[in-house]
Amino acid sequence: MGKVTFMFCTLVIEMAILWGYANAQEQVGFQNLCLGNEKTTRLQVFVQDELGGENPTVWDVARSNITSTSPTSFGQVRVLDDLLTDGPDRNSKRVGRAQGLITSADLQVSALAMNLNFVFTSGQYNGSTLCILGRNPLENQYRELAIVGGTGVFRMARGYAITSTYSYDDETSYGVLEYNIYVAYITSTYSYDVETSYGVLEYNIYVAYVDASNENMQSLN
């Protein structure tokens, strides 16, 4: 009877998706984050809030049973995709979009629960985002919201934003909101190519087999 050799192969695939970075660069970058190379910046942007007209950028997505009779529109949920500009005029330079959800969340006064992302599409912050959360009491002249995070340049961002109503036209339901943002974030030594959306797929493949004739494990790694 001939020699019988039993081969057992184990294939283990470890896949890491690294968008824009090699593995070594990612490790160095994360170390820099932990070391705390922090920078602070003040930004001023304007949100072009189109509630009406031919091309509104704010839309209702949900209402509660009492929204229509509530003096504060309690339970109204809206989604927005507003234009961000560097000046109050709607024809000012475009710097990004303000996207997110706003909810009328106070039974007593007009106040919104805000969940916003400022998505920057030009300049030195192109491809980066800031996450803004908090309570927005609309009757106050100045309202403070929290900066709770960010991406791109603004990784591990923290800070606050002071917002106010720059102007509002009742006839067209068009408003301009001013945001003064004070943010601290972590700088790093690597970069990300937003224009090419370059991604690296890394596959670490390990193959092993057993030779039953001598029971020795050999690795093909």
Residue type, 61: V
For the chain, what percent of residues have pLDDT higher than 90? 64
| pLDDT band with cut points at 50, 70 and 90 for residue 5 | very low
Query: Does residue 123 sit in helix, strand or coil?
Result: helix
89-113 average pLDDT score: 97
Residue, of 43 and 9, whose pLDDT is higher = 43
Q: Where are the beta strands (DSSP E) in 121-199?
A: 129-137, 143-151, 158-169, 174-186
> Residue 16's pLDDT is what?
43
Reported as a single tens digit per residue, the pLDDT across 162-193 is 999 999 999 999 999 999 999 999 876 445 55
Phi, psi of 25, deg, nearest 5: -65, -40
Q: Given a cut of 80, is residue 136 above it in pLDDT?
A: yes
List the one residue out of 141, 164, 172 whose CA is nearest residue 55: 172
Long-range Cβ contact pairs of 113-120 (< 8 A, separation 24 or more):
114/145, 116/145, 118/45, 118/84, 118/179, 118/181, 119/84, 120/84, 120/95, 120/96, 120/152
Helix (H) or strand (E) holding 49: strand 38-50
Report the distance separating Cα 158 and Cα 185, nearest Å. Answer: 7
Report the distance separating Cα 48 and Cα 175, nearest Å. Answer: 6
| pLDDT band with cut points at 50, 70 and 90 for residue 106 | very high
| pLDDT band with cut points at 50, 70 and 90 for residue 204 | very low
List the one residue out of 72, 89, 162, 148 whose CA is nearest residue 115: 148
CA dihedral over 17, 21, 26, 32, signed as positive or negative: negative
Q: How far is CA 169 from CA 48, 76, 121, 172, 180, in A?
A: 12, 21, 27, 6, 22
| pLDDT band with cut points at 50, 70 and 90 for residue 197 | low
| pLDDT band with cut points at 50, 70 and 90 for residue 92 | very high
> Residue 22's pLDDT is what?
45
pTM over 0.85? The answer is no
Pairing of strands 77-85, 129-137: unpaired
Q: Which of 137-146, 180-189, 207-216 has the lowest mean pLDDT?
A: 207-216
23-47 average pLDDT score: 69
Break the chain into its structural domains and give their ranges: 38-186
27-41 average pLDDT score: 62
Residue, of 64 and 193, whose pLDDT is higher = 64
> Residue 193's pLDDT is what?
59
CATH of domain 38-186: 2.40.480.10
Helix (H) or strand (E) holding 10: strand 7-18
Residue, of 195 and 58, whose pLDDT is higher = 58
Q: Given a cut of 60, is residue 199 above it in pLDDT?
A: no
